[in-house]
Structure 1
Amino acid sequence: MEATTNREALVLAGRLDGRSTAMVREILHSLMSRFDDVVVDLTDVESIDVTGLTMLAATSKLMERDGRHLVLRGCRPALRRVIAFTRIRHVLELERQAATA
């Protein structure tokens, strides 16, 4: 898992799974302490397991309590489907994709 920050965004690449969740959580908490809203760019994420999704949902709920937002950017269609058909759809905020012509 590669993780880089770009202002209030966390850009991830690789696999977000049990091995990388702690590192990503630490970076997210750092961003949360500096910004009201945080974007997680998942464009280059190959796969996400339940541990990664749970960590993102928990972080989103934590931010929401303070009136802030965690927004997921660049979700692939398969991930959007998983989120849509699970209870975490009420917790995770996905950035709207621009309409294509």
Structure 2
Amino acid sequence: MAARQLTHPSVVRSSVEHVLGEPVLVLAGDLDVRSTGELRAAVHDHIHACGTDLISPVVIDISAVRSVDATALKVIAAASRQAQRYGVRVVLRGARPAVRRMLHLTHLIRLIELEREPIPA
């Protein structure tokens, strides 16, 4: 799947990488109200490209995201909720502490699943 060039390249970028054979939507930059249209399209395109016959979840990697606002998280939550209707799980990978706080403050943590980080040995 080719990388999607978003309208605001200085705000957010997206690409699909294959990690252990699974497609992962990788987001970078700032996820805010300026990028919600492009974010919505990238997330929905990725979910639809992955299909509904998945055993493993659809992964969205946000480890390279500098900042995120509630509007962007609502876009991801809505996509996750829609995917769940078809039995597909959407998981966020690499959520920084600030993103986790925002998820809790907005109560979107109930709608967005975070990938569990391995416990260091």
TM-score normalised by structure 1 residue count? 0.90
**Would you say 1:38 and 2:53 are equivalent positions?**
no
What residue in structure 2 maps to residue 71 of structure 1? 91
Supply the distance in 2 between the matched residues of 1:86 and 1:51 (Cα, whole angstroms). 10
Residue 25 of structure 2 contacts residue 60 of structure 2 at CA under 8 Å; is this kept in 1? yes
What residue in structure 2 maps to residue 60 of structure 1? 80
What residue in structure 1 maps to residue 32 of structure 2? 17
**Would you say 1:80 and 2:95 are equivalent positions?**
no
Give secondary structure in 1 for the equivalent of 2:34.
coil
Relative contact order, higher structure (CA 8 A, sep 6+) = 1
Query: How far apart are 1:85 and its partner, in Å?
Result: 4.1
Provide the identity percentage: 40
What residue in structure 2 maps to residue 6 of structure 1? 17
Supply the distance in 2 between the matched residues of 1:74 and 1:61 (Cα, whole angstroms). 20
**Structure 2 gap ranges (5+):** 1-11
Supply the distance in 1 between the matched residues of 2:89 and 2:102 (Cα, whole angstroms). 20
TM-score normalised by structure 2 residue count? 0.76
Residue 70 of structure 2 contacts residue 106 of structure 2 at CA under 8 Å; is this kept in 1? no
**Structure 1 gap ranges (5+):** none
CA displacement, residues 34-74 of structure 1 (integer Å, 9 cap, x when unaligned): 21442110101010011101101101100011110110000
Query: How far apart are 1:82 and its partner, in Å?
Result: 2.5
Q: Max radius of gyration: which structure?
A: 2
Q: How many residues align?
A: 101
